[in-house]
């Protein structure tokens, strides 16, 4: 049986060595976030801080910091989860061999939320409503030096569809909540929800009806709620139902007088309010792509009341350049939802949103190419249909670069291994045929490389067929004979098979302006004798850093470029609206003046955490 609440989970983790209490006083301003990032890298246990400056509530970090701990927390329910998802992925197989679906039976019962009413008064027998406090009494966590204020980093934002109220049409999402700073009054919070999020539909229906949208922001509660809030769930499976399935226990909702929405009874905190008519500036905030998301207008939550249970614990995380704790979430999601991919996307065998590249900037997909099996040479046909489907539904629609390969070309290839996948693609790409741009499209809210907020371009890069070229591993022979490069370009480095990185001059142009210097570089590389060995050239501000390892290469190349503006190529041309080139393809991955700045630690905070982790310090042995 799963945990009823966070307190049961923490008691179990502590009893089995997965949690440590830290009684030394810590600062929620930068210090705790820096501790969390180090704790994750060190694969430390979950850390419960009992003395936090400015608040009476203990704060918890690194709860989901390792895959092993996630599996421990959900050890009793994972067989049922897998059985339910497998049955959904292949219902015919479940009918033919029903005994394999038996573990799903208890899970189906746990997927039904339990609704109850509080007894007498506001809180009654509902733990989350037992106590009240002010918004200022809550922990005020700031993670990065340029953050615009304190943020809730693990919020569970609950709304219901005004056009169809009830838990079955509810949305539980993780949308960051700004508690202080900017123009917010003490009873206001910023509610930043990104493009293509479920809450947007509810908000639109409320606006159309001319009334405010009620919102509950929960913090804490059964750990399955947090995972459910970030899961890309199949159509018809609500977050509350999945939380019950994953948690091995029905989620408890309570109706209470004076609350516009049901309360998640076993949560630790409930911030009850409604969205105001006019937005206000929200941000900046150091985000999971590795840069700040800047200040923009977003909805404002007017806080009507703040509730909490007795002994409430405030869980938090810190995001930044991957890998971070949310990387473990991503891996766990891939593990659970992998069997559903062929059902959701016809012809797709596997997808992988590359964490090292910031997730949405780079999506790798492996599929079947079956449209014309009678042709002598395989070429991308079904792969293009598949890529368009990926860009047409679910969170994969936010992908910027979609790289697609055919399973038939290499049955052992996996989309989860980015270096091998890139090598396979580069060996086979016909650069006159295989690149397909989509311009003026929707982009991830956190991506600043395109035309503006939520707007940019996409590139479908689909390759199939026999190998066309041998990739170079080092600059030797004809590959070393680089032509004279334009002024400011140099320091050639090999980042991997077929991957060359060059240092480029500082970028000074405006948004959506192609760089003539890059076009000159591409023209020069057209005369390079060794260009077939290095079909992809990336220009960066720091070639040594970009080429140092594959994670650096993926992060720089795909988070700092917009396909339509920043992709060039040798002897590039546009014919019948199709852009093509010869090798090499050249990507401009320099930081641009309009990009958000990358995240950097505060030196004073780093020294303070060093002291906490030093021998004799309260965190020695954990960081």
Encoded tokens for 311:
């002994």
Burial of residue 131 (number of CB atoms within 10 Å: 0-12, 13-18, 19+): middle
Encoded tokens for 575:
């014919």
* Predicted pLDDT at 561: 98
Q: Are the CB atoms for 299 and 259 separated by under 8 Å?
A: no
Q: At what angle are helices 550-559 and 418-428 packed, to 10 degrees?
A: 60
Encoded tokens for 193:
């929800």
pLDDT along the chain (623 residues), means of 10: 93 97 97 98 98 98 96 92 70 48 69 72 76 97 98 96 84 94 97 80 89 96 94 76 92 90 96 94 95 95 97 97 93 83 83 94 94 88 94 88 96 95 98 97 90 94 96 93 96 98 97 96 96 98 98 98 98 97 98 96 97 96 94
* Predicted pLDDT at 194: 77
Handedness of CA 21, 24, 30, 34 (dihedral sign): negative
Neighbours of 442 (CB within 10 A): 16
Encoded tokens for 205:
């229906």
* Predicted pLDDT at 103: 63
* Predicted pLDDT at 235: 60
How far, in whole angstroms, is CA 521 from its chain's centroid?
A: 34
Q: Please choose, from the candidates 284, 306, 330, 316, the residue with its C-alpha nearest in 3D space to the C-alpha of residue 220.
A: 316
How far, in whole angstroms, is CA 100 from its chain's centroid?
A: 33
Residue 582, helix vs strand vs coil: strand
Alpha-carbon gap, residue 84 to 94, rounded angstroms: 10
Question: DSSP secondary-structure letter at 395?
Answer: G
Alpha-carbon gap, residue 402 to 133, rounded angstroms: 47
Longest Cα–Cα distance in the chain: 83
Encoded tokens for 153:
């980093």
Burial of residue 484 (number of CB atoms within 10 Å: 0-12, 13-18, 19+): exposed
How far, in whole angstroms, is CA 485 from its chain's centroid?
A: 38
* Predicted pLDDT at 94: 46
593: left (phi over 0), alpha (psi -120 to 50) or beta: alpha
Encoded tokens for 392:
């047409």
577: which residues sit within 8 A by CB, 6+ positions away?
none
Pairing of strands 362-367, 348-353: antiparallel
């Amino acid at each position: 049986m799963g945990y009823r609440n966070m307190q049961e989970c923490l008691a179990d983790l502590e009893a089995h060595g997965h949690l440590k209490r830290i009684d030394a006083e810590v600062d929620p301003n930068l210090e705790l976030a820096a501790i969390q990032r180090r704790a994750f890298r060190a694969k430390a246990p979950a850390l419960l801080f009992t003395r936090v400056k400015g608040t009476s509530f203990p704060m918890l970090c690194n709860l989901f910091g390792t895959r092993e701990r996630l599996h421990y927390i959900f050890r009793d329910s994972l067989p049922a989860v897998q059985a339910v998802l497998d049955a959904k992925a292949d219902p015919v197989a479940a009918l033919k061999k029903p005994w394999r679906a038996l573990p799903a039976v208890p899970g189906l019962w746990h997927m039904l939320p339990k609704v109850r009413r509080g007894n007498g008064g506001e809180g009654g027998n509902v733990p989350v409503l037992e106590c009240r406090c002010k918004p200022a009494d809550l922990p005020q966590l700031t993670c990065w030096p340029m953050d615009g204020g304190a943020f809730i980093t693990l919020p569970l934002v609950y709304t219901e569809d005004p056009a169809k109220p009830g838990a079955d049409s509810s949305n539980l999402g993780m949308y960051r909540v700004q508690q202080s700073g900017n123009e917010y009054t003490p009873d206001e919070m910023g509610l930043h929800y990104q493009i293509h999020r479920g809450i947007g539909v509810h908000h639109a229906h409320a606006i159309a009806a001319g009334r405010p949208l009620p919102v509950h922001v929960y913090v804490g509660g059964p750990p399955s709620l947090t995972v459910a809030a970030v899961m890309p769930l199949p159509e018809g499976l609500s977050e509350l139902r999945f939380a019950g399935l994953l948690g091995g226990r029905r989620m408890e909702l309570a109706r209470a007088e004076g609350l516009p929405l049901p309360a998640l009874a076993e949560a630790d905190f409930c911030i009850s309010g409604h969205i105001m008519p006019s937005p206000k500036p929200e941000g900046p905030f150091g985000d999971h792509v590795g840069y700040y998301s800047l200040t923009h207008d977003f909805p404002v939550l007017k806080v009507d009341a703040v509730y909490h249970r007795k002994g409430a614990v405030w869980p938090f995380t810190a995001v930044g350049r991957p890998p971070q704790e949310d990387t473990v979430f991503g891996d766990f999601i891939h593990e659970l939802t992998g069997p559903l991919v062929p059902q959701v996307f016809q012809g797709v065998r596997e997808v992988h949103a590359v964490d090292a590249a910031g997730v949405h900037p780079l999506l790798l997909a492996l599929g079947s190419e079956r449209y014309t099996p009678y042709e002598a040479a395989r070429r991308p046909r079904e792969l293009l249909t598949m890529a368009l489907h990926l860009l047409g539904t679910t969170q994969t629609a936010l992908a910027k670069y979609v790289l697609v390969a055919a399973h038939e070309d290499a049955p052992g290839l996996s989309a989860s291994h980015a270096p091998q996948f890139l090598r396979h693609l580069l060996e086979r790409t016909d650069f006159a045929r295989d690149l397909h741009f989509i311009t003026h499209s929707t982009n991830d809210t956190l991506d600043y490389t395109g035309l503006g907020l939520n707007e940019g371009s996409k590139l479908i890069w689909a390759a199939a067929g026999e190998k066309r070229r041998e990739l170079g591993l080092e600059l030797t022979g004809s590959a070393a004979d680089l032509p004279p490069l334009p002024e400011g370009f140099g320091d050639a480095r090999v980042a991997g098979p077929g991957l060359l990185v060059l240092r480029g001059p500082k970028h000074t142009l405006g948004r959506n302006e192609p760089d003539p210097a890059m076009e000159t570089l591409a023209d020069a590389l057209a005369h390079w004798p060794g260009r077939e060995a290095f079909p992809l050239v990336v220009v960066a501000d720091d070639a040594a850093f970009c080429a140092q390892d594959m994670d650096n290469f993926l992060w720089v190349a795909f988070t700092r470029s917009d396909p339509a503006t920043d992709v060039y190529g040798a002897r590039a041309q546009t014919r019948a609206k199709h852009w093509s080139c010869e090798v090499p393809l050249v990507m401009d991955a320099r930081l641009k003046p309009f990009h958000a700045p990358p995240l950097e630690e505060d030196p004073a905070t780093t020294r303070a955490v060093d002291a906490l982790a030093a021998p004799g310090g309260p965190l020695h042995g954990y960081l």
